[in-house]
Each structure stands twice: as structure tokens, then as C-alpha cells.
Amino acid sequence: NAGVTQTPKFQVLKTGQSMTLQCAQDMNHEYMSWYRQDPGMGLRLIHYSVGAGITDQGEVPNGYNVSRSTTEDFPLRLLSAAPSQTSVYFCASSYGTELYEQYFGPGTRLTVT
Amino acid sequence: GQQLNQSPQSMFIQEGEDVSMNCTSSSIFNTWLWYKQEPGEGPVLLIALYKAGELTSNGRLTAQFGITRKDSFLNISASIPSDVGIYFCAGRRGAQKLVFGQGTRLTINP
């Protein structure tokens, strides 16, 4: 099993550009989520999904969209990048709800100039 | 949103020393989790605690769920170089989502 994979590992965007961060898991996990990690802030939940076709907002959803068309994939879209979105983004998945152990991907480091 | 205060923010210790860190909240939590993050990687779950007063070990790591349910502690005994990383606590209250602490960065001098 590859576990949770994220691409790209690094990305630089200009303000206003759009892009999609990819996340995939091969563990047949129902629950997937996106976090951002900023210095001194810990991890903050952006969006999450409890299964294919179902998504919901987390703590900091503004500026981000998600979709879950398959169990395996949970892409995160930035519609119009802003410098405030410079961060490290982590995707995670777990068997059931997040009550079960969450497995994190290696992260995507995004810089918006 | 809810906040977890994790301390200390950073620690510089000698190899072989014991390490203690803690996480506190103004709210009651019913689950406490401790994660470790190494450079360039995502967090990895170390210990999960589900009951007030619970004491759980994972090798040289021991974590406790505080009696008040507002705090948790992580101890590492006899530290070794591979213990270097950032340690995060996370808590959950009822059906709400996980809240993470700011992290404790551990540096070990050989």
C-alpha cells in the first residue's frame, strides 16, 4: 500500500492563480480531510469528507473547494490564490470517522507570491 | 474556535534525558491524541487516550489523560536522536472535530 499520497510536494503560485492539490489513498478509507499547517498554529481543518459524494466544511474553509467523486481521491482546489494561503497542506484519511486513527500524507508546501 | 495550549513550544535537551510536555484547554475533551511529525513528513499517531486518568505507554513514550479532562501529558524517557521532531497534541470534544495544539519542537544534542 502506498498509504496517503499528495502531489505536488512543492508549488509556487502567483496571487489570483488557481490550482488543485491532489490527494489519494489506497486503504479504502471512508473519511478524508484536508488540514493546513502554519507556524505556531498547529493543524487546522479546512474541509472533510465522510464518504464519496459527501463533503463538509472545517474550521478554515474560505478560499478552498473540495469534491469527493471516488473513495480514493479528495482534491483540494484553490480558486484564486492569496498570500494568506501560503502554508503546508496535509491530507489525511481514516477507516471510519476521525475517531479512528488518521493517516497523514507527506504534505504540499505552497507559496503564494 | 477551541484552542489547545501546548507547552513548551521548544525543548533543547541532551541525549539520554527525559522529556515532558503538556497540553491544556479551557474546555473538557473526551479524547486526547499525541502525534509526532518529522521534517518533510505528515504527523504520525503515537498514543490515543479515551478516558480521564488513563495512562498509556508506547515504548519509551507515556501519555496521560488528565483527571480534569482539560489536559494531557506526554513523557519520553531516555531520549535518543531519532526522537527529534515536532510533537502535537490533539483533542476532541463530543462529536466535534479534532483541535490541534501548536506543537513542541524537540531538539536533542548528542
Burial profile A92-102: b = 16 or more Cβ within 10 angstroms, e = fewer:
bbbeeebeeeb
- Tell me the pairing of strands B19-24 and B5-7: antiparallel
Closest-CA residue of A relative to B89 is A42
Peptide bond into A106 cis (omega under 30): no
Partner B, chain A 48-107, Cβ-Cβ below 8 Å: 48, 58-59, 90, 92, 98-99, 101-102, 104-107
Instruction: Give the best residue of A31, A38, A43 to mutate against chain B (max B CB count within 10 A).
Output: A43
On average, the pLDDT of chain A sits at 93
The pLDDT, as a whole number, for residue A42 is 86
Please calculate the CA angle B110-B41-A40 and round it to the nearest 5 degrees: 80
- pLDDT greater than 70 at residue A99: no
> What separation in angstroms does the CA of B27 have from each of A102, B1, B35, B73, B93?
23, 11, 20, 16, 8
Q: What is the pLDDT of residues A37-92, one digit of tens each?
A: 998 788 999 999 999 999 999 999 999 999 999 999 999 999 999 999 999 999 99
| pLDDT mean over B71-79 | 97
Check pLDDT > 90 for residue B9.
Answer: yes
Tell me which of A28-32, B2-6, B25-29, B54-58 is least confident.
Answer: B2-6
DSSP B98: P
pLDDT above 70 covers a percentage of chain A that reads 96
